[in-house]
Structure 1
């Protein structure tokens, strides 16, 4: 039946000079099963709402190996973060470095989920002392430093560390603006001197806003990154 329907549609489209895309056109006998995206179905079959934090992160990690950058990963990492945002140290049953390692691994393979990953890292790091925090941040930067979207990650890592007692110097041009008001992120020599001086004298970091930030990222800070994935 499905073959006949596709044949009729194809013949009709051909009269209009159009055709179905082979890459996007599929037919199935089981309408119910195949009406759900494979990544969503895979997640529904393996996910359990009663999972521990460790099991939840491992489930996302396992899922992400088959469905890289799926919108489901962003949603689940955000859901996990909202779940633990108000937790105190005694709620966590395992070493924080284990959670940090799993979260970093998910971030490496799923850059679109990094805002939620950064938020989780900020929560885990908040329970460590300065020495442990510095060690873990250095490990995170080293682990994530060899991937192509390092700049994007460094911007979020700067948000994670900007309220810490330890200062970190990141390589991304945008991150350097917080350390030097005179740093140029682009070549503006070709601009009129008045406009060029205006740009150079502008502080792109609003210290008033930064002073009000908590060292743990608020869920509202990452919620905007769910908008484009709301229908995935």
Structure 2
């Protein structure tokens, strides 16, 4: 997914340069990290023109700038650090895991859906995995389950690492998979009422297939439906919503298209052997794909 996004954003970079060349604007620099743009120029007038060019190019791709995050700054050093990252840097060490998680919750309330919250939770997950035992004094583990579910409810970007934290906490609280499955289902039902929960479905399925393969529920996400077909060893797998076959000429009954559809319905996309080797706990390396030194 990141690869496709970068291909599109790379094309936008080229189009932006072409537009500014047409306006004879050359003395500027654009630094882009994924979809975060920083434009540097010695002329405010040219900055305004460049930003309008960027808006125009993004619009041609069906995208736009977030007006709440677009601003003009003169102090490059001070404003090169996002407010969210400043708050993250200010945070010190915590005397307990519960206090650390609560601090993350407060942080996420102040900086909604920030990627720094994801990074903060990755730090927390690594600390969890270093613990061989977690005593449930005063229902601390249950309290942390409530905190992480609240963070996830208001910050969809935390679904992957949030699910990993939730599952790891369950491993300290329960030994049997049935209890874990019930708690997972409660979380999924709670968050599933919100829009755009495809990522939640994917990570819920990742764990539920390990702790309760016989789960009788259903998925609304197309990819999860396909994976469910394969895990249940159906003879034919669904392809709805996964591939666009409009580029193949002819109707669904034409030989070329029919052959392609047949292949897609019968070819596995899940490596069952690798899945069976995976643990029910989601390791930090599964959800934290980028090194800390280079993460946003």
Task: Specify the TM-score bucket, using the shorter chain as the normaliser.
Answer: 0.7 to 0.9
Q: Contact between 2:102 and 2:147, CA under 8 Å: does it hold in 1?
A: yes
CA distance in structure 2 between the partners assigned to 1:33 and 1:199 by the alignment: 53
User: How many aligned residue pairs are there?
Assistant: 220
CA distance in structure 2 between the partners assigned to 1:161 and 1:10 by the alignment: 54
The SS at the match of 1:135 is: helix
The residue number in structure 2 matching 1:48 is 92
Q: Structure 2 residue aligned with 1:212, among 259, 263, 277? A: 277
TM-score (norm 1): 0.80
The residue number in structure 2 matching 1:75 is 119
The residue number in structure 2 matching 1:3 is none
Relative to structure 1, the CA distance from residue 86 to residue 20 in structure 2 (aligned partners, 3 Å threshold; closer, same or farther) is: closer
The SS at the match of 1:25 is: coil
Matched, 1:114 2:162: no
CA distance in structure 1 between the partners assigned to 2:95 and 2:287 by the alignment: 23
The residue number in structure 2 matching 1:193 is 258
Relative to structure 1, the CA distance from residue 228 to residue 176 in structure 2 (aligned partners, 3 Å threshold; closer, same or farther) is: farther
TM-score (norm 2): 0.64
Relative to structure 1, the CA distance from residue 170 to residue 105 in structure 2 (aligned partners, 3 Å threshold; closer, same or farther) is: farther
Q: Kindly indicate which of the two structures has a greater share of residues assigned to strand.
A: 2
Higher relative contact order (CA 8 A, sep 6+): 1
Structure 2 unmatched runs, 5+: 1-41, 53-66, 246-250
CA distance in structure 2 between the partners assigned to 1:154 and 1:106 by the alignment: 17
The SS at the match of 1:122 is: helix
Relative to structure 1, the CA distance from residue 211 to residue 79 in structure 2 (aligned partners, 3 Å threshold; closer, same or farther) is: same
CA distance in structure 2 between the partners assigned to 1:108 and 1:176 by the alignment: 23
* Backbone CA RMSD of aligned residues: 3.1
Listed as ranges, the matches of 1:133-148 within 5 Å are 133-148=180-195
Q: Per-residue deviation at 1:199?
A: 0.8
CA deviation vs aligned residue, 1:5-54 (integer Å, no higher than 9, x gap): xxx7235x39xx936789421246xx765553211122333x22234111
